[in-house]
Amino acid sequence: MRPSAWLDRLFASPRWDQVVIWALDLETTGLRPDRDEILSVGMVPIREGVIRYGERFHSYVRPPDREGLSTEGIRAHHLVPADYADAPRVAQVVPEVERRLREGVLLVHHAPLDVTFLKTAFERSGAAWPAPVVLDTIDLVLKLHHRQHRFSPHPPRPRTGLTDAREAAGLPPYPSHDALSDALATAELFLLLRSRLGLCTLRALR
């Protein structure tokens, strides 16, 4: 086998549209995974490069101690105890998330936060973390910003918030801080950024 062919096989990466990508968003009581709780999960798949909204998954999550929860996130997500009073516990929601993550790639906007919350939820539920490949739309926003401004002496700051990034990309606004609509917003932003960057393999998108 010629050396270049061996390297091609060793470092082969599937095309981005040959894998199932699950866009995910969480609404939480705060920004500290060690003490805050997940209140809502939204997931939307991308199959063969197309958003399949009909396969969406959404669930509220009932925290273990509703009385002792931090309230700092209420201003953002507007979820109050009555919204999740009859919702399943996180241990019941984790298997639904896991089943989808084992199908393919995890797509989030700001992976350090969402992935840490997910890992904590899996650990607390006694479930093994499936360790999916993770794509972060913030990374793609930064790649595109660098490409557009690499020769600019004083480039503007990149707009990395989900709402701001969509606006900068020319995408319409959605209600923010809703897990399902933010998952859909992330999926749409990903498709646009991938197209503008011209990235065709899973490795190139990471």
CA distance 82 to 158: 38
In a domain, 9, yes or no: no
In a domain, 166, yes or no: yes
Q: pLDDT value at position 160?
A: 97
Other beta carbons within 10 angstroms of residue 140's beta carbon come to: 23
CA distance 28 to 177: 10
In a domain, 156, yes or no: yes
Q: pLDDT value at position 10?
A: 43
In a domain, 1, yes or no: no
Query: Mean pLDDT for each consecutive 10-residue tract of the chain (206 residues)?
Result: 43 91 95 91 98 98 72 65 87 98 97 98 97 98 96 93 96 91 98 98 96
Domain count, the chain: 1
Q: pLDDT value at position 180?
A: 97
In a domain, 120, yes or no: yes
In a domain, 7, yes or no: no
Q: pLDDT value at position 68?
A: 53
Q: pLDDT value at position 69?
A: 59
Which structural domain range is residue 40 located in? 14-205
In a domain, 138, yes or no: yes
- Whichever domain contains 127, its CATH number is 3.30.420.10
- Closest among 23, 185, 7 to 103, alpha carbons compared: 23
Other beta carbons within 10 angstroms of residue 79's beta carbon come to: 20
In a domain, 106, yes or no: yes
